[in-house]
Structure 1
C-alpha cells in the first residue's frame, strides 16, 4: 500500500533541526533535491502498489534519494543507512520533515528500492532533470529565426559495466557446480535416509584433490586442463543421477530453498554447455554462463588493451552539452552501430532538432548510417570510407583532430563512472537490480556535472571581484602573500 505524503514538498527552511537553526541553501544536497522532479514521477511509482492492501510503503523520494546517496558517496547499503541517520542534510534529501536519530528504514530495503525503481523510470527522471538544468543555465539561449535547423554535437559510444564476479574458468566453474550438487544431495538424503541402506557416494575428497592438482599450477598444459575438466564433468553427471534417484525414492525438491532450486537449474545448463564444449573441442558457445550465482552475466568482447573480454552488462550511451544518457543496456553482446538511428531520433525528440555533427568511432561509420545521416544534413566525424586520398589538406587534418578531441569527452565520462562511481564493478547480484544501479550512476554523474558547473561559476565570479586584474598581475602575488621573484611565502608582504 502506498500513501502520498506532503514530506516530498518540504522546503529546506522548514526542516526542523535540534537546537533551532536552518539548513544552508548552498549545500549540495539541498541543491540536488531542488533539481530532481520528485512529484512528477511519484504517481508512476505508486502504481505498482495496492491502494488498500499491505503495509504502507516508503515514499518515492525516500526510495530514490537513498539510492542516489549510496551511489554519490560510494558506500554500501548498511553504511548508507548510517550516514542518513547521522546527517540532517541527507534526511532532508530523502524527504523527511525533521531530524531524527532513528534509522528511517532497514538496509535490506535498498534491495526492494532497486527492484521497484526500474531502468525506464530512472532514465525518464534523468532526462527530465537534465532538461530542467539546461533551462536554468545561462548558456541556454532562446531560439532565433536565423538559427540552423541542425544544432549541437552528439557523441555516441558503448562500454561495459563489469559485474562483481571472479574471473571465470571452465574448471573453476565446474568445481563450484560440483560442490553445490553435493550440498543438495546431503539435503535430499536427510528426507529419505530411512529408506536407503547407505548414502550415495559422491567422491568429494577425491574430486577436490583432482581439481587442486591442476588449479594450483600456474600454467598447466592443455592436456592436463582438459583431463581435469573431463573428471569434473563425470563427478557432476554422477551427482545429478543421484539427485534424480533420491527424488524418485521420495525426496521432495520443493523443500529446497529458492536459491538452491535456481542453482540446480543453472548447474544442469552449465553441465550441458561444458559437455558440448568438451566433446566438440570448442572455446565458445551461445549464451555461455560464466557465473553460478549470477547466470545472467555474459562475456562481452572489448577491443581494449589488457582486457579483451569483460564480464557484465553492455551499455550504449549518448553525450551532449556535458550530460550523459543511458540509451540501451543488455547482458548480451550487441553491435552498437545499430543504435545510431534510434539515438539520433531520441536526440531530436528531446531537443526538437537534429544534431549538427555526430562524433563516433569506427564501428558506427557504416554505409547505411552515413547515407541516413547525409539525408538529414548530419555530419559524421572521421575519414570517409574507402582508400584514403594521397594528399589531405591541413583543414581536414585539423578538423579530424578536433573531432577526435570532442569524441574523447564521452570516454572521460565513462572513466568518471568507473573511477569515481561504481560503474567499474557492479556489486548488485540480480539482473534487474544491477540495471537499476547502472542507471542511477548515470543520473548521479549528471547531478555531479551540474554541481561542478555551479562551483565553477562561483569561482569565476569570485576571482572577477578580486582587487587585481590580468594586466596588474603583480598584485596577484602580493594579495596571496607570495614573493614573485623568490616564489616563497612571506606574510610580511600583506602588512
Structure 2
C-alpha cells in the first residue's frame, strides 16, 4: 500500500532542528533537492503498489533520495542509513520534516528501493531534470535575440553537438575460469546431495559417495600452479566434469527414492538449474575443443552476466552490462543497456531521435568513433542535414587541406568529453564495479549513476556561476579602490582577495 505524502517538497527553512536554527540554503543537498521534481513522478512510483492492501511503503522521495545519497557518497547500504541518521541535510533530502536520531528505514530496504524504481523511471527523471534546465536557458537566449513573430515564421534548424559512445559496467565477480567455475558447481551439487539425503525418511539407505576431498585435491593441484599447461588444465576440467555428472545422477536417484526439491530454498534450486546449464556448456567446450559458446555463463551466483569483448588495453574482455550513452552540453544519458553484447552503431538513429524529442530539433553534428560510421548511418544523417564526424568513405586523399585537419582535430577533442564522463562514472562513482547482484537492481544502480553525474554537473555549474558573479563584483570594487585615495595596504589586501 502506498500513501501519498502531504508534503513532498518542503522548504529548507521549515525543517525542524532539535537545537534551533535553520538549514543553509546554499548547501549542496538543499540545492539538489530543489532540482528534482519529486511530486511529478510520485504517481508513477505509486502505481506499482496496491491502494488498500499491505503495509504503507516509503515515499518516492525517500526511496530515490536514499539511492542518490548512496551513489553520491560512494558508500554501502548500511553506511547510507548511518549517514542519513546522523546528518540533518540528508534527512531533509529524503523528505523528512524534522531531525530524528532514529534510522528512517533498515539497510535492507535499499534493495527493495532498487527493485521498485526501474531504469525507465530513472531515465525519464534524468531527462526531465536536464530538460527544465535547458528550457530555462533557451528562454533567456530567445528573448534576447529573437522576437515572437520571428519564432513563428522560422522553423528551428539543426543546433548543438551530440556525442555517442558505448562502454561496459563490470560486475563484482572474480575473474572467471572454466576450472574454477566447475569447482563451484561441484561444491553446490554436494550441498544439495546432503540436504536431499537428510530429508529422506528411510535412513537405512546408504548415502551416495561424492569423493569431495579427492575432487578438491585434484582442483587445487592445478589451480595453485602459476602457469599450468594446456594438457594439465584439460585433464583437471575432465575430472571436474565427471564429478559433477556423478553428483547430478545421485540427485536424480535421491529424488526417485522420495527426496523432494521442495526441501531446497529458492536460491538453491535456481543454482541447481544453473549448474546443469554450466555442465552442458563446459562439456560441449571440452568435447569440441572450443573456447567460446553462445550465452556463456561465467558466474554461478550471477548467471545473467556475459563476457563482453571490448579489445581495450589491459582489458580485452569485461564481464558486466554493456551500455550505450549520449552526451551533449556536459550532460550524459543512458540510452541502451544489455547483458549481451551488441553493436552500438544500431543505436545512432534512436539516440538522435531522442535528442530531437528533447530539444525540438536535430543536432548540427554527431561525434562518434569508427564503428558508428556505417553507410546506413551516414546516409540517414545526410538526409536530415546532420554532419557525422570522421573522414569520408573511400581512399583517403593525398593532400588534405589545413581546414579539414583542423576540423578532424576539433571533432576528436569534442568526442573526448564522453570518455571523460565514463571515466568520472568509473573512478568517482560505482560504474567501475557494480555491487548489485540481481539483473534488474544492477541496471537501476547503473541508471542512478548517470542521474547523479548530471546532478553533480548542475550543482557545479551553479557554483561557478556564483563565483563568476562574485568576482565580477569584486573586480568592480578593486578598480574603484585603485582610483581612489585608499591606502596601498588596503588596496593590496582587496586585490589579493579578488584573485581567483
Common fold by TM > 0.5: yes
Equivalent position of 1:265 in the other structure? 273
CA RMSD of aligned residues (A): 1.9
Question: Conserved in 2, the CA contact under 8 Å of 1:193 and 1:199?
Answer: no
| 1:204-233 deviation digits (Å, cap 9, x = unpaired) | 010000000100011100010011000000
| 1:314-333 deviation digits (Å, cap 9, x = unpaired) | 00001011101100010000
| Structure 1 residue 192, shift from structure 2 partner | 1.5
| Structure 1 residue 434, shift from structure 2 partner | 0.2
Question: Conserved in 1, the CA contact under 8 Å of 2:195 and 2:263?
Answer: no
158 and 82 in structure 1: CA distance in 2 versus 1, 3 angstrom threshold: same
Structure 2: how far apart are the matches of 1:160 and 1:188? 40
Structure 2: how far apart are the matches of 1:435 and 1:233? 33
Moved more, 185-194 or 448-457: 185-194
Equivalent position of 1:96 in the other structure? 96
Matching of residues 447-458 of structure 1 within 5 Å = 447-458=455-466
Structure 2: how far apart are the matches of 1:475 and 1:121? 58
403 and 33 in structure 1: CA distance in 2 versus 1, 3 angstrom threshold: same
| Structure 1 residue 7, shift from structure 2 partner | 3.1
Structure 2: how far apart are the matches of 1:248 and 1:121? 48
Equivalent position of 1:466 in the other structure? 474
| Structure 1 residue 438, shift from structure 2 partner | 0.3
TM-score, normalised via structure 1 length: 0.94
480 and 215 in structure 1: CA distance in 2 versus 1, 3 angstrom threshold: farther
358 and 456 in structure 1: CA distance in 2 versus 1, 3 angstrom threshold: same
Find the partner of 1:288 among 284, 296, 319: 296
Equivalent position of 1:401 in the other structure? 409
Structure 2: how far apart are the matches of 1:372 and 1:135? 28
Structure 2: how far apart are the matches of 1:181 and 1:360? 48
| Structure 1 residue 157, shift from structure 2 partner | 0.4
Paired positions, count: 480
Helix, strand or coil at the partner of 1:266: helix
Equivalent position of 1:37 in the other structure? 37
Q: Unpaired runs of 5+ in structure 1?
A: 483-495
Structure 2: how far apart are the matches of 1:159 and 1:480? 49
Matching of residues 214-363 of structure 1 within 5 Å = 214-363=222-371
| Structure 1 residue 463, shift from structure 2 partner | 2.3
Structure 2: how far apart are the matches of 1:38 and 1:317? 25
Matching of residues 362-401 of structure 1 within 5 Å = 362-401=370-409
| Structure 1 residue 132, shift from structure 2 partner | 1.6
Deviating 4+ runs (over 6 angstroms)? 474-477
Question: Conserved in 2, the CA contact under 8 Å of 1:16 and 1:99?
Answer: yes
Equivalent position of 2:162 in the other structure? 154
Matching of residues 422-437 of structure 1 within 5 Å = 422-437=430-445
| Structure 1 residue 138, shift from structure 2 partner | 7.7
TM-score, normalised via structure 2 length: 0.93
Helix, strand or coil at the partner of 1:9: coil
Question: Conserved in 1, the CA contact under 8 Å of 2:172 and 2:435?
Answer: yes
| Structure 1 residue 419, shift from structure 2 partner | 0.3
Q: Unpaired runs of 5+ in structure 2?
A: 483-487
Helix, strand or coil at the partner of 1:212: helix
| Structure 1 residue 454, shift from structure 2 partner | 1.1
Moved more, 139-148 or 304-313: 139-148
